[in-house]
Amino acid sequence: MPHIIVEYTDNIKEEARIAVLLHKMNQVLISRGDVFPIGGIRSRAIELHDYVVADGKHDDAFVHTCLKIGAGRSVEDKKSTCDELFDVMTSHFSAIYEKRYLALSLELIEFSEAGTYKLNNIHKRYKK
């Protein structure tokens, strides 16, 4: 952990540069290597084809990002990370936001380590 999941409506696919966004978001987490293990970072995007925004009568768009982390980070670390990730999102989508109706959101999900199962040898590469 952490995992970033970006859901976005297909009506912005051509201009959204989602792969670029994922790299930017990973850099935020990588820069906080003392808080989040680099080998645990996973970012992915899901293009949505079936959705309704507001009353469904317009070609509205949205991007919703979920950051999933294990428990144990300070309130300050969680807030500063989410603030920076949301800044990355709003900056990344600013041109689209100026041209069309677009809703941006970010959600933090923190969970207990109980009930999660992991096997990951990527961490070895980042051990000092």
Distance between CA atoms of residues 44 and 78, nearest Å? 20
Whole-angstrom CA distances from 97 to 26, 91, 107 are 22, 10, 19
What Rg value do the Cα atoms of the chain yield, rounded? Answer: 16
Could you tell me which of 117, 118, 115 has the C-alpha nearest to residue 39? 118
Is position 2 annotated as part of the catalytic site? yes
* Contact status, residue 54 vs residue 60, Cβ threshold 8 Å: yes
Options 2, 11, 69, 85, the catalytic residue: 2
Catalytic residues, which ones? 2
